[in-house]
Amino acid sequence: MTALRTTSATVSFSAPFTLKGRTETYPAGRYEVETDEEIIEGNGRTVYLRVATLLHIRSPGMTRTLKIDLEDLQRALARDQAEAG
C-alpha cells in the first residue's frame, strides 16, 4: 500500500475566474483545495510526489470536486491578484 499525505488550503478569488481546459467560469469567493502526495522514501531522505489536486466548489445544497492542475490554479490566483491590485 502506498502512503499518501494530504494537505488542505483555502484560496480566495476577488473576481470570477477560469481554469485552463475548462469552459466554466467560477464565481469569486473562497475555495478549499486539497493536494495528495505520494510518499517515497529511500537513500536517507523522503520525497513527496504530487498525485492529485482537488478543488471543492460549494453551492447551496451541493459540493462538486474537480481534479485540477495546481499550476493552473496558481496562474489563476496570480491573474486575480494582478487585476485586484
What phi, psi does 48 have (nearest 5°)? Answer: -115, 125
pTM: 0.85
**Residues 51, 57: Cα–Cα separation, whole Å:** 20
Position 2 pLDDT exceeds 80 = no
Q: pLDDT: is 61 or 41 the higher one?
A: 61
> Nearest 5°: CA angle at 46, between 5 and 3?
35
Percent of the chain residues topping a pLDDT of 90? 78
Contact (CB, 8 A) for 53 and 33: yes
Q: What is the dihedral of CA 20, 24, 29, 32, to 10 degrees?
A: -60
